[in-house]
């Protein structure tokens, strides 16, 4: 018996959980291979079980994604959702003014840095990061509406 290739696993037509656009999912595990072409949601089998939570691979909760889509807005995380994603994944990134920034916790400190640059800012707690992390003297939380491409650190 021939084993299916990865692409062949995506064999079932379903509706996107956010916008109802038709998408292909894998009948074996319920997830989508690609983000919905209409709204950007990446479907997972347990979306409805965790509708209020930010979970990989999406950066907003299903409930908020539906609200954003209904308002015609991008599925982009607010600062708190970015932090929720960080808490679950442990490494995040975003772009600001054409520079890439990262947040990690490799040991006992939270480290915030410009990717490929030195130095980095270190914080004992996530709350300290929220209240003190800055880019050129401006708090990250205060420029959040201007950041681009927030995502899991790659």
Q: pLDDT tens-digit profile of 84-107?
A: 999 988 999 999 999 999 999 998
Domain shared by 87 and 53, yes or no:
no
The answer as to whether 1 is a domain residue is no
Domain shared by 59 and 11, yes or no:
yes
What pLDDT does residue 140 have? 98
Rounded Cα gap, residues 58 and 75, in angstroms: 9
Q: Average pLDDT of 94-121?
A: 95
What pLDDT does residue 34 have? 82
Domain boundary pick from 16, 43, 70? 70
Domain count, the chain: 2
Helix (H) or strand (E) holding 112: strand 110-114
Average pLDDT over the chain, rounded to an integer: 89
What pLDDT does residue 8 have? 54
In the β-sheet with 91-96, what is the strand arrangement from edge to edge?
A: 120-123, 110-114, 99-104, 91-96, 148-152
Range of the domain at 57: 7-70
The residue that leads in pLDDT, 89 or 143, is: 143
Domain shared by 84 and 65, yes or no:
no
Q: Average pLDDT of 122-146?
A: 97
Q: What's the pTM value of the predicted model, to 2 decimals?
A: 0.83
Q: pLDDT tens-digit profile of 51-75?
A: 999 988 899 999 999 999 999 999 9
Of residues 71, 16, 72, the one with CA closest to residue 41: 16
pLDDT at 3 over 70: no
Domain shared by 91 and 57, yes or no:
no
Rounded Cα gap, residues 121 and 89, in angstroms: 20
């Amino acid at each position: 018996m021939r084993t299916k290739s990865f692409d062949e696993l995506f064999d079932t037509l379903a509706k996107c959980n956010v916008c109802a656009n038709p998408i292909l999912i894998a009948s074996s595990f319920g997830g989508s291979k690609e983000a919905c072409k209409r709204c950007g949601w990446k479907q997972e089998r347990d979306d409805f079980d965790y509708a209020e939570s930010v979970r990989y691979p999406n950066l907003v909760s299903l409930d908020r994604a539906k609200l954003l889509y209904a308002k015609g807005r991008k599925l982009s995380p607010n600062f708190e959702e970015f932090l929720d994603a960080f808490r679950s994944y442990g490494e995040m990134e975003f772009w600001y003014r054409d520079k890439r920034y990262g947040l990690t916790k490799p040991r006992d400190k939270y480290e915030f840095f410009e990717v490929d640059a030195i130095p980095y800012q270190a914080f004992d707690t996530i709350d300290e990061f929220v209240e003190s992390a800055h880019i050129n003297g401006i708090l990250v939380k205060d420029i959040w509406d201007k950041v681009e491409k927030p995502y899991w650190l790659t």
